[in-house]
Chain A
């Protein structure tokens, strides 16, 4: 409980700081010049936002405090799942056809009692030729058509942030990547080369429990430890084209499974080799948007599927549809399936066949978003349900944007299932609630 109180104090301080910062512009901004609402923003604020800047950089960002806790007491872990104070700074510099973007966080994370700086973006963008864009450096990359389900998007994801109730932006981790985009009439090409493999931020026992086959139950290890990361690179490719209103894309990837799903010779978790191929289509249908995506994960080190230390190859399929149901209420639904190749061999060779995945894992999702009060109050619910695993994950959340500065949000992460070893079922003891308060400057 100590930790929680400290966090509350920190949050209070952040609020006070924010309130002071807010009070200043508010006092003289609107007071005197009743008849001209733009008075505060007069002329210097009409600086060309796209002009090549002569003077200094303009910085934006936010200060945010967040608190979250699990319902259940679990061994080796604190009740606190989110406890942090974060300062975000962002800027952009344009000059002579070159653009540099920077986004960085200074973070006090009370769960791991650590002060950390995180560079989310530091990249230069330019066009070496008319139809070529290059972006070099640390950046966040996203492609594919799924909503919180990723098939051909093998860029790193941060599931720890996602499960802890951080902003959804933090689900995507940055990577140090050279991205080249080539735009031609028949097809556009994206190539993303990451010289050093960047895995997901997967659960490893620092904040959340997960299935432990040795103990036969979900648990957090007494000494959390990440798997060794290989120094090989990754290459991701996308070919895409829009014809009329329909978007088509083909994908390729060579690298490694993004989570340590394998076991090396020393018996430690490892990242086995992975090739992936896929395709997607997205198009308007009826009143909404329909999307379909498929990916083949070719597990290079276990193509026969008989090595229990390496995941088998698998096929992943997705269908989705999204539509506004009534004014300000949007619904999106997805059907998703993973099929394991040579599942019989997987079971024959498994050390723990009882807890292996089913041949087919199916998931259905539903996202409901309702906007009210002139778009300032957003309520949303995201549901993952797996008929095959008989487990679920619910993400209700609400956020209120009080004005251009203050954002309050709160939500729940609810996991559950019949069995303790399934994808979401193993996370049941991680169910948590969270609140966040953010001040944009």
Chain B
């Protein structure tokens, strides 16, 4: 019930807030940077529980549930992520470790508990399905803003509307994407991806935002494929920031032995 109460409150708070900023920003680089920080770098570190409902065109639904730990090495720069899967049972115990780099390819490891195997995964295409969902790896860890050319196409009462085109079109599946960024929170609230035939084939929408530890935080979002009919709804709960995660949590030791003290919700 917690969400049911806080979610309308968050909307109310936004509605009652004074007009976003007296002066709208006009520098697209600044908007992009602030949006990147708001969406992916809140706090020095964070833990959150997440689940996804994956729905295909035939309305078949699947669930993924996991706990995410994140630590910023540098604000706006390199980060460490660790994802511990708890459901469904075929992926339970699987752990995914990513050292995200801005200047070079990410380092990625996967721990498979059935074999006690720490597998190194090649950096590869970050725009592929994250554990079978409609989210891409890049949606979870953040696309490097420097990979695209951004243009501010419109400033509305509530949003900055940006159009972005890839610097190397051969490496991505989109022709361009259009993002609406909240002027108040700087969170991207909707992104539409266009293919070569000017069709919107992929949409990201934010469905819920809460303020947690002083950071406006996306608690619910959805990625849908209008052309194929599938979508994935992602929900975050029990998000905490600045929990004091030590750097060495993001290592082979804790792939094999989950750092339960850091995974557990505070106060339990």
B61–A284 touching, CB < 8 Å? no
A62 pairs with B90, CB closer than 8 A: yes
Chain A residues whose CB sits within 8 angstroms of the CB of B67 once the complex forms: 49-50
Q: A residues within 8 A CB of B131? A: 375
How far does the alpha carbon of A30 sit from the alpha carbon of B61 in the complex, in Å? 9
Stretch at the interface among A77-85, A139-147, A347-355: A139-147
Interface flags for A273-290 (1: CB within 8 Å of B; 0: not) read: 000000000101001110
B117 located at the interface, meaning its Cβ lies under 8 Å from any Cβ of chain A in the complex: yes
Residue in A50, A172, A188 whose CB lies within 8 Å of B258: A50
> For residue A28, which residues in chain B have a CB less than 8 angstroms away from its CB?
none
Which of chain B's residues have a CB closer than 8 A to the CB of A282? Answer: 120
Q: List CB contacts (< 8 Å) of A178-202 with chain B.
A: 181, 183, 188
Interface contact A324-B253, CB-CB below 8 Å = no
A368-401 CB contact bits vs B (8 Å, 1 = yes)? 0001001110000000000000000000000001
Quick one: given A168-B115, A245-B107, are A284 and B260 in contact (CB under 8 Å)?
no
Q: B residues 52-97 with Cβ under 8 Å of A?
A: 53-56, 60-63, 65, 67, 86-90, 92
Closest to B107 in A: A245
The count of residues in chain B whose C-beta lies closer than 8 Å to any C-beta of chain A is 59
Could you tell me the distance between the alpha carbons of A181 and B120 in the complex, rounded to whole angstroms?
Answer: 20
Q: B residues 117-139 with Cβ under 8 Å of A?
A: 117-118, 120-125, 127-129, 131-134
List the A residue with the shortest CB-CB distance to B131: A375
Beta-carbon contact of A324 and B124 below 8 Å: yes
Also in contact, A37 and B268, with CB within 8 A (given A287-B105, A375-B129, A375-B132) = no
> B116: which of A41, A50, A172 is its contact (CB, 8 Å)?
A172
Interface residue stretch chosen among B23-31, B142-150, B193-201, B229-237: B229-237
Residues of A that sit less than 8 Å from B by CB: 30, 37-38, 41, 43, 45-46, 48-52, 60-62, 90, 94, 99, 125, 133, 135, 139-142, 167-169, 171-172, 181, 183, 188, 240, 242, 245, 247, 282, 284, 287-289, 291, 322-324, 327-328, 330, 371, 374-376, 401-405, 407, 440-441
B residues whose Cβ falls under 8 Å from a Cβ of A: 1, 49, 51, 53-56, 60-63, 65, 67, 86-90, 92, 99, 105, 107, 112, 114-118, 120-125, 127-129, 131-134, 173, 230, 233, 235, 237-238, 248, 251-253, 256-258, 260, 263-265, 268
